[in-house]
Amino acid sequence: MNLATPEAMGLDPAVLRDQLLELWNLKDLQTEVPVARVCILKLRPRMCHVCLGGSGRELHLASHQGFSKLSQPLEGLLTILEGCSGKQKGRSHTFSHHILLEYQTWMKEHPQVTLSLLSEDQALALQRRALSLLTDAQSAFVGCLIDIYQLSSLDPAILRQHIMKLQALKCYKEAAVLSIKLKVQKELTVEEICVPLILQGKMPLAESFVTGCSDLEIRLVTLLDSWCHPSFSVEELYQRFPHLSLSKHCMGQIQPKMLTKHVLRLVEKFTIQPGLCPNALHKRRFDSLRFLMYKRFVEKSMTEENWSDHVEYVVADDTELQIILVKMLLKYCGLQKASQWSLRYKIPRNRLPLGVWESQCSLPPDLQQIHRSDPAQTEEWMPSQSYCQKFYQAPLTKDKVHFVETSEALQRCRNTILKEGGIVGVDMEWQPTFGCISSQSVALIQLAVFDQVFLLDLSLNEFCQHPDTIGFIRSLFAERNVLKLGYSMAGDLKCLLATWHSLEEPLKMEGMLDLCSVHQKLGKANRTHSGPKEVLVGEDSAEKGLSLLVQQVLGKPLDKTEQLSNWKKRPLRLSQIRYAVADAYCLLDVYSVLSSNPAYFGLPADLRSISTSQSENSGDKKEKQTKQGKQALGKEDCQGDQRVSPAHCDSEKGHLCGEKPSEDSPPLPPQQLRVVCDNMLQGLGRYLRCLGVDVVMLENTDDHRVAAKLAQAEGRVILTCGQPYQSLRSQVGEGCCLSLDCTEKARDQAVRVLRHFNIQPTPGDIFSRCQACNSDQYVAVPREDMVRMLQQKGFLQDQDNTDHIQQQSHQQKEEKLGDILTPELPRYALQCHWAPLSGLDPDTLTFPGGAPIQLHTVPPALLPRIRLFYVCTRCGKVFWEGSHFGRVLSMFQEVLHITDEDPESVATPITVAQQN
């Protein structure tokens, strides 16, 4: 092929390269590179010479003229690029990359220059040379060469050979990118490409490698799942990839918790059968079982019926989990309950914990089975008077509650609900899965009007999937003349899509009013509480979300005991039905009160205008903040969805429902803030707990969604950061999730949270909660009793005791001179609950909850100096006076409220409950 003009035939490619490189290196060209780079990255090479200025135009013209003078342009281009060896690394816009872009532009003017004009051997030789340049090149450089030399048409065996060469050179990222661009993933194995990427923290690239190839998607999921098996050893990876040096960060990528999250996420993303990942499911179910044991036997916030239902769902037919359940019950409850459940699952004798078999044999027949109470037979529809005084109750008799599970009942419901001008309270319930599966289908839909409530039973598949049922739901949400009331309906609608995939086509939404938006706008005029209710931390109230709104408007909160029920199990208990009815009917009562006198609550006359105006303001605000963010990137104001600043909180983006408390609102004590910290913010949780805040911290093995369950069940605000924020916010609704900057230090995060909620701790709040378990109940143990208990358990030898007595006599003389140096109780005594020492079992040295005193943490050498110890009654942790208090006081002095009554707080930082 000879395409050059006769008068300029045979220009040496090396000479052309040197000419172009000289123009590239001109100073004025380098000055203009940032501008040119923008154009080039936008794939507008024809404009590059304009942006580059004079030198840029010269380079553009010289390139095109030079390419035309080459006797073999395709071969000459390779010679030029080979002479730029290594220069394609680093910045995406380099000399070699620029030459490629100019050549692509030149090719458009010379379409006759193609490989098709060459012989097969010549074309293959050029393709191999081009392929050899694809080592550590940038992605854009790779794409240009693939297009120019049609590398995708090469024999897959040749491409595989080159990719394996990149693997051998440890260019794992480049090998994966090239595989994707050449679409040869099926010629490779998941292990050889994806394992190095995963160990280097490049999971997204590994996902991209398999995406679109169902076999590879399954293989990646099953590979990760195999790593979740308890017997998996990282040594296997060392043996298979001896050239990989696994750093601490790399090791963190293959921990069971992280792997389980990835596996279950990919199962949903790739629509893979969960049965293909048994190890990850087992791990998730095991963590769920631990959570249920904590809720039932530590917090005691779950009823026996709900706990049993969820345990059976989580354990299912997994024999290993059944055995683990029996072991946990033995620890928390004793032999009888462990024996009953072991009989329930028929666990073999050789797998039973010590003592359970003997207990089984001694159980009388009436205790060998787990007896469940049936509230539906003993409980009346109207609860007790004390219950009604404490909680909101829908003003309906039982005959006004209708189960809808047939086409005939659905028609009667439709005739009532879709009356023009009607108002309907809408709520939904679904079975908690505790993260075992990601998508949850609706089990019950409650539709309330002012004289009756309809419960659509979607547990029956025939009724749930019937076209009339789906059609009714479409009509309900699309009917603009029927006002639908809900609260944080985003989660409900998400579950609707999981229930009916046919709703993936846009569900028309008309006549909707989310009372969560109204809740955010509640004013403070004529309110009995002066605190800012938008913050959702009410004085002397642990209520959150809808329950708080009901309490604020109607005077009583909702009873949320049945919230975590198994809503798919039939028949429903009477208490479940009452809860479901109240959850929907309260929306009508709240709307009726608010709309009858909106000015009293600081609301506009038309409540329906709140949602519309809020969306518009949100859009305007988002646009404004986007512009500001570009101008002031890196400042401490809220940017994106990840930062909370004491000066500003972006409520519209959902950091927290409502605005920051006003400066003139009274501060709140730390005891009135209840939070759950994601496992990425454990440092923050420790600092907040140190200052007296009620903090539950997720363990490293817990899924992020456990935070949502805790927040819903206990009325806590979630503190999280990073990617989990969006999914957590959608699960708990507006106002219950706060996102923090994960790049900040834990101490700074704590200051931001305290200022945001207007929490003002005092020196007396420091260490008012157990740093290990969050309890605020202690028992004071005098030194003499501590010595006796240490001797009883063998932690104090005779010689140690003799030395202690000798030193104690000298210590007591000093103490008689001034007990003020060591107070009888610490300064946080007024913020705690103090239990009597008599509650301690004298033989086992355990508290009524079963926790033993952690005597092993008390150094014998400490006894002569400390005469009073403080022990947490929940976990048994031992604390004593030390120097931690001063450090905490100094660290958080800017947010502590120190009065004239605490002069020693600043001057003498000497008293604190210090642990070993």
pLDDT band of 542, cuts 50, 70, 90 = low
Q: What is the pLDDT of residue 35?
A: 40
Looking at 741-897, which runs of residues are DSSP E strands?
777-782, 833-834, 868-872, 878-881
Residue that wins the pLDDT comparison between 747 and 537: 747
Q: What is the pLDDT of residue 336?
A: 92
Mean pLDDT value across residues 704-721: 85
Residue 96 has pLDDT above 70, yes or no: yes
Tens digit of each residue's pLDDT (9 = 90 or more) over 815-825: 443 333 334 56
Cβ–Cβ under 8 Å, residues 873 and 778: yes
Mean pLDDT value across residues 665-693: 87
Q: What is the pLDDT of residue 585?
A: 97
Distance (Å, rounded) from C-alpha 142 to C-alpha 182?
A: 10
Residue 387 has pLDDT above 60, yes or no: yes
Residue 90 has pLDDT above 80, yes or no: no
Structure tokens at 876: 């048994």
Mean pLDDT value across residues 440-460: 94
SS3 at position 212: coil
Which of 82-96, 306-320, 408-422 has the highest average model confidence (pLDDT)?
408-422
Q: What is the pLDDT of residue 313?
A: 87
Mean pLDDT value across residues 494-521: 82
Residue 463 has pLDDT above 90, yes or no: yes
Distance (Å, rounded) from C-alpha 63 to C-alpha 702?
A: 59
Q: What is the pLDDT of residue 59?
A: 86
Distance (Å, rounded) from C-alpha 911 to C-alpha 690?
A: 14
Mean pLDDT value across residues 401-429: 96
Closest CA to 342 of 354, 331, 332, 356: 356
Mean pLDDT value across residues 844-864: 87
Q: What is the pLDDT of residue 596?
A: 92
Amino acid letter, residue 124: L
Distance (Å, rounded) from C-alpha 512 to C-alpha 480?
A: 8
Q: How do beta strands 401-404 and 833-834 pair?
A: unpaired
Q: What is the pLDDT of residue 170?
A: 83
Query: What structural domains does the chain harbor?
Result: 13-154 (no CATH), 278-367 (no CATH), 399-430+441-524+546-609 (3.30.420.10), 670-761 (3.40.50), 777-806+824-892 (no CATH)
Return mean pLDDT, the chain: 79
Residue 156 has pLDDT above 50, yes or no: yes
Q: What is the pLDDT of residue 798?
A: 56
Mean pLDDT value across residues 493-518: 81
Tens digit of each residue's pLDDT (9 = 90 or more) over 739-750: 888 778 888 899
Residue that wins the pLDDT comparison between 795 and 806: 795
How many other C-beta atoms can be found within 10 angstroms of the C-beta atom of residue 851?
18
Residue that wins the pLDDT comparison between 495 and 48: 495
Angle at 427 between CA 425 and CA 431, to 5 degrees: 165
Residue 162 has pLDDT above 60, yes or no: yes
Q: What is the pLDDT of residue 245?
A: 64
Distance (Å, rounded) from C-alpha 840 to C-alpha 851?
A: 10
Mean pLDDT check: name the lowest of 205-219, 293-307, 723-737.
723-737
Please state the length of the chain: 916
Residue that wins the pLDDT comparison between 499 and 44: 499
Cβ–Cβ under 8 Å, residues 353 and 327: yes
pTM beyond 0.85: the answer is no
Distance (Å, rounded) from C-alpha 850 to C-alpha 224?
A: 39
Q: What is the pLDDT of residue 540?
A: 35
Q: What is the pLDDT of residue 186?
A: 92
Mean pLDDT value across residues 829-840: 81
Q: What is the pLDDT of residue 878?
A: 92
Closest CA to 716 of 731, 701, 726, 727: 731
Tens digit of each residue's pLDDT (9 = 90 or more) over 171-203: 888 899 999 999 999 999 999 899 988 888 888
Q: What is the pLDDT of residue 299?
A: 78
Residue that wins the pLDDT comparison between 124 and 498: 124
Q: What is the pLDDT of residue 485?
A: 96
Tens digit of each residue's pLDDT (9 = 90 or more) over 543-582: 678 998 999 899 999 998 888 888 988 899 999 999 999 9
Residue that wins the pLDDT comparison between 464 and 733: 464
CA separation (Å) from 872 to 294, 295, 880?
A: 17, 19, 11
Q: What is the pLDDT of residue 21?
A: 86
The string of DSSP codes covering 82-131 is: HTTTTTTSSSSS-HHHHHHHHHHHHHHH-TT--GGGS-HHHHHHHHHHHH
Residue 813 has pLDDT above 50, yes or no: no
Mean pLDDT value across residues 777-794: 89
Distance (Å, rounded) from C-alpha 703 to C-alpha 717?
A: 17
Residue that wins the pLDDT comparison between 371 and 485: 485
φ, ψ of residue 448 in degrees (nearest 5): -115, 130
Burial string for 728-761 (b: 16+ CB within 10 Å, else e) reads bbbbbbbbbbbbbbbebebeebbbbbbbbbbbbb
Residue that wins the pLDDT comparison between 463 and 822: 463
Share above pLDDT 90 across residues of the chain, in percent, rounded to a whole number? 35
